[in-house]
Structure 1
């Protein structure tokens, strides 16, 4: 124990400086991003009020996956990444594939956030080069990550806090518009009945409902960052269960609550698919410069996700270095005097420079679409392997006497794995008939 700072220092030199609030905010930072603030109109336009069902279903499966990850980390809280359990329980071959693939997925996801930051920042400064914007944000957030882990946690609390305040602001403002029956978009009055009138699960057909799943699934990515903070969290066996049990409910509240309010303020058919619903609601309330406000929040949201990604990639690469016997990986094990795996963080951040380089040769939208698509495929495969590893874990001696368990894992785990497999097939448009077949199967399973 470090008596001066009262922060527990691990044997490898890393420090347990993250609080319960910081851990939850890191999860918020990873999972509540630009998709909600900008993409909500598109998801609502696709399938109407039943989009709330899509969020609830996917959120439930993410909760089950987080409980599986939490159980393994509860048994061994010294791991710097949950992906290490794939190596332990499924063998070195799949383990190395998953570990390197997930690290690459995080790099690509960070690059996607950098391209998004540049695109939104250029709305204010259109003549500023995208590569320069990306470089400034990347350097600034990397420096935050090189400070003590508690400082990183405080930075993430601030960044994620801005997003949460904005969502709560929308819910409060929208609630006021509903209570006063404010005249909304296209002359419609705000009312709860806008959400329930002429309700249909498939207003635009079952295909649109099914293909809303990939859009919503992408929004939940990053929640698993909780499973990369454990080795640097204070009292992990106390904080980890609390953080996992609380985070899913709060994220679902923010997602479902904000979308429900949006569709109460105006019938979902009137909501623009091309403009942020947050902007539309704040403009209805007479808030000046609503578009500028949301653009600022979107930049903060992307920066928050990028901040968490830099943290995660550094710890993940450090874990890979610990498991490797290669002399080339040994420098990546270096820990700074402030308890940070400094070389692993710097190497990961350096690879993210691919984003500003990419922006020199492609349009920002093309770059964002490319990196998001590739990272999404890797992510799903790692999720499936993680669940299989947990199944093996539950049949090993290490799972005995564990107080934090995945509920009814013999049923919920195969169900989650099947859901992830079906989602992967649907995401890749595996033929129209196959998509319909698996889509119906998803509904039956749900």
Structure 2
């Protein structure tokens, strides 16, 4: 309580700095929300049909690699509490160019993801209100998220807390329902009955071979986008030395519970070759037990999942613009805070970009083609950000060996795992060349870096 009072007094004395208003429960649930993407609810059918039971290993491998990325980020953020986010430590350890590229890339990632989420929310909304204009619902979404973020940081934390609770309840309900169906040997759609042996009885753990196993990585990696959100919230975390390690260390447990257990239960109840690729397995599971409201319940869960992602995106983009402004690589307007210590200029700009994106999606035909390409580009750019975190860690170990020695939250197998994780991301990039839609997105991605490079060159000329 004394620490909290002291923290509040410091905020009052220094209104030009972000306040540490987020507490342990906020950060724990923001971390869970970041680790559970909409892809688990809607995309798991497609990943199961592509890879079969081997998809379990795909999620475990990706979760294992990203745990080390988060540990590297955690050690860096706690080594210097002046770091507001990973663009700050990238600028400090790798050079101003790294802060510029990382910050603007991360901002772009979340704007693109936010556009996708808002379009998704609008389409989910149509299930209940088919006569309501899709553009009115998109506009309403942006206004609501702007209002939630502009008031206080704590309100953002509360909203993410409850959004994540809804996700957790839905997944736990799925797992419990599945376990009960297996225990009762409930008839399954394939003609058999629910049993644990269904996981390996239809062609073993790798029924689609190595190619099917590799194909699973292309989609599954997108489900983990947002896992690094804990780092963006670090500057506004109360008692970061206690809260951040807890949130990061719980990642393996979350991956096992929310991804592995959920997928195992789905495949135990419905054999993998009976799972419909373009339909949510969550809906199918609840429909099996004769729950007529299954579609509406899952629609509500998926809607809140997309809302959580969009809300997180608006929060993180405004904080990233604030950090870039402080580094001098974004307009100084983005560095101004409101009386409640919220970067309102960054919020308004990010929300405006979301509206422009929604308008573009309306104007461009073949929406789903553009939609797939844009979200794939976003995921590729997220891998770039994760790689920059690892490169920053390697630079930190070289420049500040004493800080590493004194750290209470050291990254296990530090240097070795940095290289292993970067090799893994390179491997995923190679896999993206195998499918036509992801290959097209991979070819478009360099345009963003060319644009950023031009911006950096113009800025350097002005500075000179």
TM-score for the superposition, normalised by structure 2: 0.88
Relative distance call for 1:325 and 1:353 in structure 2 (3 A) is closer
- 1:272-421 mapped onto 2 (5 Å cutoff): 272-324=276-328, 329-362=331-364, 363-397=366-400, 398-421=403-426
Are 1:47 and 1:202, in contact at CA under 8 Å, matched by a contact in 2?
yes
Query: Which of 60, 67, 70 is the equivalent residue of 1:56?
Result: 60
2:440 counterpart residue number: none
**Number of matched pairs:** 429
Q: Deviations over 1:163-220 (max 9, x none)?
A: 1100000011111111111112133211111113255343123222112102110001
Bigger CA drift: 383-392 or 61-70?
383-392
In the alignment, the residues of structure 1 paired with residue 194 and residue 323 of structure 2 have an alpha-carbon distance, to the nearest angstrom, of 52
Q: Is the 8 A contact 2:87 2:98 kept in 1?
A: no
> What is the Cα deviation at residue 226 of structure 1?
0.3
Partner of 2:427: 422
Match of 1:81 in 2: 85
Write the deviation string for residues 87-124 of structure 1: whole angstroms up to 9, x where unpaired: 22222223312221121111111111112112222233
CA distance 1:275–1:314, shift in 2 (3 Å): same
User: Structure 1, residues 116-139: CA drift from partner, whole Å, max 9, x if none?
Assistant: 112222233334332221111111
Asked if 1 retains the 8 angstrom alpha-carbon contact of 2:322 and 2:334, the reply is yes
Q: Contact 2:26 / 2:161 at 8 angstroms: preserved in 1?
A: yes
Unaligned runs of 5+ in 2: 437-464
Conserved? CA contact 1:89–1:389, under 8 Å:
yes
Deviation at 1:365, TM superposition (A): 2.3
Q: Distance in 2 between matches of 1:345 and 1:400?
A: 38
The structural deviation recorded for 1:384 is: 1.4
Q: Distance in 2 between matches of 1:181 and 1:107?
A: 46
1:14-413 matches, cutoff 5 A: 14-198=18-202, 200-324=204-328, 329-362=331-364, 363-397=366-400, 398-413=403-418
Deviation at 1:410, TM superposition (A): 2.6
1:351, distance to aligned residue in structure 2 (A): 1.1
Residues in 1 aligned to 2:369 and 2:214: alpha-carbon distance in whole angstroms: 25
Q: Give deviations 1:10-61, integer Å, cap 9, x for gaps.
A: 8433211111221122223233122111111111111111110000000000
**Is the alpha carbon distance of 1:141 and 1:99 closer, same or farther for their aligned partners in structure 2, counting shifts above 3 Å?**
same
SS for the counterpart of 1:16 is coil
Q: 1:26 to 1:2 in 2, by over 3 A?
A: closer
Change (3 A) 1:272 1:184: same
Could you tell me which residue of structure 1 aligns to residue 453 of structure 2? none
1:352 counterpart SS class: helix
Q: CA RMSD in A?
A: 2.0
TM-score normalised per structure 1 = 0.91
For residues 108 and 286 of structure 1, what CA distance do their matches in structure 2 show?
Answer: 38
- 388-397 or 5-14: which moved more? 5-14
For residues 176 and 7 of structure 1, the distance between their equivalents in structure 2, rounded to whole angstroms, comes to 53
Label 1:332 to 1:289 Cα distance change in 2 as closer, same or farther (>3 A): same
Whether contact under 8 Å (1:177, 1:265) holds in the other structure is yes
CA pair 7-162 structure 1, distance change in 2 beyond 3 A: farther
Q: State the partner residue of 1:440.
A: none
Q: After superposing the two structures, state which structure 1 stretch, 236-245 or 71-80, moved more.
A: 71-80
Question: Do the aligned residues in 2 keep the contact of 1:71 with 1:405 (CA within 8 Å)?
Answer: yes
